[in-house]
């Protein structure tokens, strides 16, 4: 009796210590958290996720942001391929969108206005006459709650956005789970709920340069976008409502093309965007939305999404005034973004896929950035 009791106790101890060790190993080796500073009374952390190949993804809960992505080239040389700052102050005072989550409405809403069920809503303006990326106090600029997901190489960020924040209706709860897989994929799973009908367009705004962030422009990167059409814009970068075929235009990336190949053409849309800064209408029969290949390093980035569009922005507004990791400067066109999204200004464009969220229904979307070499 006594013996059995002891045996059970010993077995339980072994089991408990085994579980603890296992948890420790996972937490310690896969996700590390360290203080990154404080913003408006909230603690901000820096999370380092390491996968089985030893490649590193860093995140912060300020703006639910991707800070750093270190992946190998075809010779195994590792390099950070995304724009980011080494300090929280960098994020607070610098470019607001490097790697951050943007919401509630990514990209632009014309005149910062839309009507829903007969009620007109006016948003905070921050981009000429328009609202960009949710407004000046959008989700890129708030501290999200953070939780390391047990037993996974994942961090979950959650933010409660109050009714009428930046002018948008509905109390919303938004979360994004980032997972850094052993195949060098950043999986981003977003979930949003609301208590009032509203609009939603949530994405990540990472800038990429596959030969290394801060090491020259991206005009030599080869791009494929599985899109037969794009949405032309007006002079304030609001879509006109037209869905225009890419065939025969500099917007045809249906087969791999160097970004620099046609960017200098006197094309009306390229002139309006100052280069590429347009939404592409994804061909949903294709599993991959876009592929970027940098021939010297051999690095490849593939973008997979369930969303209908992707904003291809090639850093036309960058000017070298921002200094990031390693003291490197982010110059004109030295980074590209592939922001998966609903089409810009869709709350004012009845023919675009609706970016509506209803109470009682969970809005879910998923995008993957997958790195490899060839
Ligand atoms: C927009 C650009 C804007 C940039 C800001 C992109 O999503 O399309 O026009 O300048 O975000 O970082």
CB neighbours of residue 195 within 10 Å? 13
Integer Cα distance of 7 and 20 in angstroms? 20
CATH value at residue 57:
2.70.98.10
CA–centroid distance, 98 to ligand 1, in Å, is 10
**Beta-bridge mates of residue 371:** 301
Q: What is the pLDDT of residue 1?
A: 32
**Ligand 1 pocket, mutate which of 84, 102, 133 (most atoms under 8 A from CB):** 133
Give the pLDDT confidence of 157-188 residue by residue, as tens digits: 999 999 999 999 999 999 999 999 999 999 99
CA–centroid distance, 234 to ligand 1, in Å, is 15
Please state the atom number of ligand 1 nearest to the C-alpha of residue 273: 9
Integer Cα distance of 155 and 60 in angstroms? 10
Integer Cα distance of 188 and 178 in angstroms? 5
Average pLDDT, rounded, for the chain: 93
**How many domains would you assign to the chain?**
1
Residue 152 structural domain: 5-373
Give the pLDDT confidence of 285-306 residue by residue, as tens digits: 999 999 999 999 999 999 999 9
Average pLDDT, stretch 189-202?
98
**Beta-bridge mates of residue 155:** 148, 178
Give the pLDDT confidence of 59-91 residue by residue, as tens digits: 999 999 999 999 999 999 999 999 999 999 999
Give the pLDDT confidence of 230-279 residue by residue, as tens digits: 999 999 999 999 999 999 999 999 999 999 999 999 999 999 999 999 99
- What's the token pair of residue 41? 């009374």
**Beta-bridge mates of residue 192:** 174, 363
Residue of the nearest CA to atom 8 in ligand 1? 277
**Ligand 1 pocket, mutate which of 131, 132, 319 (most atoms under 8 A from CB):** 132
Angle (CA) 17 23 26, round 5°: 140
Residue of the nearest CA to atom 5 in ligand 1? 97
Q: What is the pLDDT of residue 280?
A: 99
Please state the atom number of ligand 1 nearest to the C-alpha of residue 95: 12
pLDDT at 17 over 80: no
For residue 104, whether the previous peptide bond is cis, meaning omega lies within 30 degrees of 0, is yes
What pTM does this model have?
0.92
pLDDT band at 30 (very low <50, low <70, confident <90, very high): confident
């Amino acid at each position: 009796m006594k013996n059995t009791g002891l045996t059970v106790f010993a077995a339980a101890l072994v089991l408990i210590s085994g579980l603890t060790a296992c948890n420790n190993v996972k937490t310690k080796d896969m996700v590390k958290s360290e203080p990154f500073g404080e913003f408006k009374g909230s603690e901000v952390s820096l999370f380092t996720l390491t996968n089985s190949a030893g490649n590193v993804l860093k995140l912060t809960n300020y703006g639910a942001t991707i800070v750093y992505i270190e992946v190998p080239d075809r010779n195994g040389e590792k390099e950070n391929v995304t724009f980011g700052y080494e300090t929280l102050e960098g994020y607070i005072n610098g470019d607001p969108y490097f790697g951050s989550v943007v919401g509630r409405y990514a990209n632009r809403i014309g005149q910062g206005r839309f009507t829903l069920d007969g009620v007109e809503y006016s948003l905070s303006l921050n981009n000429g006459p328009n609202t960009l990326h949710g407004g000046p106090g959008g989700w890129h600029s708030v501290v999200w709650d953070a939780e390391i997901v047990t037993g996974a190489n994942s961090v979950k960020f959650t933010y409660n956005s109050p009714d009428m924040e930046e002018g948008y209706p509905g109390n919303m709860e938004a979360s994004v789970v980032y997972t850094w897989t052993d195949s060098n994929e950043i999986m981003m799973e977003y979930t949003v709920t609301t208590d009032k009908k509203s609009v939603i367009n949530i994405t990540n705004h990472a800038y990429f340069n596959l030969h290394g962030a801060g090491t020259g422009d991206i005009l030599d990167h080869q791009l494929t976008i599985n899109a037969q059409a794009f949405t032309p814009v007006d002079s304030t970068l609001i879509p006109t409502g037209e869905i225009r075929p890419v065939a025969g235009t500099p917007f045809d990336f249906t087969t791999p093309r160097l970004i620099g190949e046609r960017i200098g053409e006197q094309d009306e849309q390229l002139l309006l965007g100052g280069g590429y800064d347009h939404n592409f209408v994804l061909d949903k029969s294709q599993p991959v939305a876009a592929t970027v290949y940098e021939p010297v390093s051999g690095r490849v980035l593939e973008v997979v999404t369930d969303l209908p569009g992707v904003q291809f922005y090639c850093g036309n507004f960058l000017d070298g005034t921002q200094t990031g990791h390693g003291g490197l400067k982010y110059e004109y066109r030295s980074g590209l973004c592939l922001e998966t999204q609903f089409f810009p200004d869709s709350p004012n464009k009845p023919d675009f896929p609706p970016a509506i969220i209803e109470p009682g229904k969970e809005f879910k979307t998923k995008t993957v950035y997958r790195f490899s070499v060839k």
